């Protein structure tokens, strides 16, 4: 197995902590982490962290800036696989990575135990692997699957 170029995207806070808990799965690959919170340290010291702005439903005016930030990151990294735990910026990262031929993996946050997040529902169209951390939710959407939770 040759090392793959991975783009690993999570907003600051819970999305990021969950992505960090998955970091052993990325060992041996070329990981580029992307997050929204300036000053965030990567889970492994050798990995790089790129910053994006934190656009959301309450801050839609930042979406254009976010789009170009992510486009630039995807063009530079050329990810073979893109993984995101959310939220909205992660969804956009998955969509753009998919356009550039990456395999895409969406892992919906463990916080969404009763229904998928809005981003998570939309991610179903763009994710090659579409995961919830709550197995009882898999029946709600065809194609949604689960590897269990990060906790």
Partner 1 sequence: MILLSVGTQLPFDRLIRAVDTWAYENGQVEVIGQTGHSSYTPRGLKSFPFLDPQKFRSLQEQATLHIAHAGMGSILTAMELGKPILIMPRDHTQGEHRNGHQLATAKRFVDTPGVFVAFNEQQVIHHLRHIENLAAPASTSAKAPDAFLSQLRASIEGVRQADRRADSLQPGTLSTPRRAS
22 binds partner 1 (CB under 8 A): yes
Among the residue ranges 60-68, 69-77, 90-98, 108-116, the one whose residues contact partner 1 (CB under 8 A): 108-116
DSSP string spanning 74-126? HHHH--SEEEEEESHHHHHHHHHHHHTT-EEEEE--TT-SSS--HHHHHHTTT
21 binds partner 1 (CB under 8 A): yes
Q: Give the three-state DSSP class for 139.
A: helix
End-to-end CA distance of the chain: 28
Shortest distance in whole angstroms from residue 51 CB to partner 1: 12
77 binds partner 1 (CB under 8 A): no
Which x/- pattern over 122-151 shows residues binding partner 1 (rule: CB under 8 A)? Answer: ------xxx--xxx--xx--xxxxxxxxxx
Give 73 or 116: the residue with its C-beta nearer to partner 1: 116
- Residue in 5, 6, 8 with CA at minimum distance from that of residue 85: 8
Q: Give the three-state DSSP class for 35.
A: strand
Residues that bind partner 1 (CB under 8 A): 1, 4, 6, 12-18, 20-26, 29, 37-41, 54, 56-58, 81, 83, 103, 105, 107, 109-114, 117, 128-130, 133-135, 138-139, 142-151
């Amino acid at each position: 197995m040759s090392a793959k170029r991975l783009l690993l995207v999570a907003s600051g806070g819970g999305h990021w902590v969950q992505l960090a808990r998955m970091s052993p799965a990325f060992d041996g690959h070329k990981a580029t982490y992307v997050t929204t919170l300036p000053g965030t340290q990567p889970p492994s010291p050798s990995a790089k962290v790129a910053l994006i702005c934190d656009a959301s439903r309450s801050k839609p005016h930042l979406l254009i800036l976010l789009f170009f930030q992510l486009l630039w990151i995807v063009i530079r990294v050329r990810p073979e696989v893109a993984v995101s735990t959310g939220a909205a910026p992660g969804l956009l990262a998955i969509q753009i990575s998919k356009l550039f031929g990456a395999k895409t993996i969406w892992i919906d946050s463990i916080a969404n135990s009763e229904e998928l997040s809005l981003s998570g529902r939309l991610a179903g169209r763009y994710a090659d692997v579409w995961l919830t951390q709550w197995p009882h939710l898999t029946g709600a959407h065809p194609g949604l699957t689960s590897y269990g939770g990060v906790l």
